[in-house]
Amino acid sequence: MALIVHKYGGTSMGSPERIRNVAKRVAKWARAGHQMVVVPSAMSGETNRLLALAKELAPERATQAYHRELDMLAATGEQASSALLAIALQAEGMESVSYAGWQVPIRTDSSYTKARIESIDDQRVRGDLAAGKVVIVTGFQGIDEHGHITTLGRGGSDTSAVAVAAAMKADECLIYTDVDGVYTTDPRVAPAARRLTTVSFEEMLEMASLGSKVLQIRSVEFAGKYKVPMRVLSSFTPWDIDINEEAKSGTLITFEEDEKMEQAVVSGIAFNRDEAKISVLGVPDTPGIAYRILGPVADANIEVDVIIQNLSKDGKTDFSFTVHRNDYARAIELLKEKVLPALGAQDVVGDAKICKVSIVGIGMRSHVGVASTMFRVLSEEGINIQMISTSEIKTSVVIDEKYLELAVRALHTAFDLDKPAE
């Protein structure tokens, strides 16, 4: 008998029919003798629907009070889907109980809309498991030390599931979604994308941090920190497929240095459309400019990603960086009001229609020329590179958003990812 955590995403929970399917699948696992904890997302579209309602009443404001209410609101999506799943399981003849984050409790810090899990008390859940119940725990939410409901950032149910699995020392955390595993890139963008049977934790971490939305990055961080055995697989297979076959399907996240070190140099391509570029033009090129520009940005709690400073000409330089699109307007305003006059710079300009495309692979450590192949491929496609950033196992470029699909597909082919793995 094992303790297994299942997580089902929004599409998998998208209708009463699908919820019934999830219930039948979970019941199959429970009847096979496993203790089951299930972490559902809200039904697909529900989180967006709720957040849009809030924006209809008042445009987003960067206040704690506003964000607190967003969490109060968004958390209802998971509360509803969890109760529905418990009802469906009961209809299948399984004893089942659902808990909201605060009832477990899953304790988080107070950063509304992007809270971090601090601890999980598993006593209540263990008690129910011991009594033979399937326990449903809402994804995406927790409670802070003052009793306020918090949410973990978009896609946060992955993190809830892995954190619950880590806290309970589960034997495995299975992330059921609408694709049958982790692919070489998003199959919606490159139809030639292939499923990976395994992906190393390090690569998965990079891919998630560079925009592959198949897993929320914090879920991968948790899996790494607590060595949670974790697999991504499809919820769209027939619910009654053989359980042993199901348990081996999808993509396994591995923690060992991969035995298959001979695999492709580049394992995957990630992209991110959520960033925007800002340039401060004509900045006097003196020591401390990076700090004088980015200090106020950091003080405003705006995260900066790729940074580039041009060569100076006549004592002046241009300084560019990217931020999340949600922070774009605020960052421009801040720079215009505070930084531009203080620095004596010429202008602040921005471009929200950019994207970042990245190649990822632990094989890049031991191979040279990978980045230059990337640059060649993009140049052959006539795509201008606006910024570059590299680390040991990835190279990222910022390009015009309109070339995203073209770039991803061309790189996918150039790095031999279209071909089936040996």
Contacts with ligand ASP by CB under 6 A lie at 9-10, 41-42, 47, 77, 139-140, 154-158
- Residues 75-104 interacting with ligand ADP (rule: CB under 6 A): none
Pairing state of beta strands 35-40 and 96-99? unpaired
DSSP strand E in 1-92: where? Answer: 3-8, 35-40
185 binds, among ligand ASP, ligand ADP, Mg ion, none (CB under 5 to 8 A by kind): ligand ADP
Q: How far is the CB of 336 from ligand ADP (least distance, A)?
A: 35
Centre a 10 Å sphere on the Cβ of residue 421 and count the other Cβ atoms it contains.
Answer: 14
The reply on whether position 183 binds ligand ADP by CB under 6 A is yes
Residue with tokens 């071909």: 419
Picking from 141, 125, 145, the residue whose alpha carbon sits closest to that of residue 133 is 125
**Separation of alpha carbons 336 and 224, rounded Å:** 41
> Which residue number, 177 or 249, has a Cβ lying nearer to ligand ADP?
177
Picking from 188, 190, 209, 203, the residue whose alpha carbon sits closest to that of residue 251 is 203
77 binds, among ligand ADP, Mg ion, ligand ASP, none (CB under 5 to 8 A by kind): ligand ASP
Say if CB 160 and CB 217 are below 8 A apart.
no
φ/ψ of 350, rounded to 5, equals -145, 165
In eight-state DSSP terms, residue 210 is T
- Residues 2-21 interacting with ligand ADP (rule: CB under 6 A): 9-12
- Residues 222-281 interacting with ligand ADP (rule: CB under 6 A): 268
Residues 6+ apart with CB under 8 A from 198: 251, 252, 253, 254, 258, 260
Q: How far is the CB of 193 from ligand ADP (least distance, A)?
A: 7
Q: Which stretch binds ligand ADP (CB under 6 A): 112-120, 173-181, 278-286, 395-403?
A: 173-181
> Which residue number, 49 or 336, has a Cβ lying nearer to ligand ASP?
49
> Which residue number, 39 or 297, has a Cβ lying nearer to Mg ion?
39
The residue ranges that bind Mg ion (CB under 5 A) are: 9, 155
139 binds, among ligand ASP, Mg ion, ligand ADP, none (CB under 5 to 8 A by kind): ligand ASP
In eight-state DSSP terms, residue 265 is S
> Which residue number, 156 or 181, has a Cβ lying nearer to ligand ASP?
156
**Separation of alpha carbons 370 and 379, rounded Å:** 14
Provide the mask over 150-169, with x wherever binding to ligand ADP is found by CB under 6 A and - wherever it is not: -----x--------------
Among 88, 104, 137, 214, binds ligand ADP (CB under 6 A): 214
Residues 6+ apart with CB under 8 A from 357: 269, 270, 271, 396, 397, 399, 404, 407, 408, 411
Q: How far is the CB of 186 from ligand ADP (least distance, A)?
A: 3
Provide the mask over 35-64, with x wherever binding to ligand ADP is found by CB under 6 A and - wherever it is not: ------x-----------------------
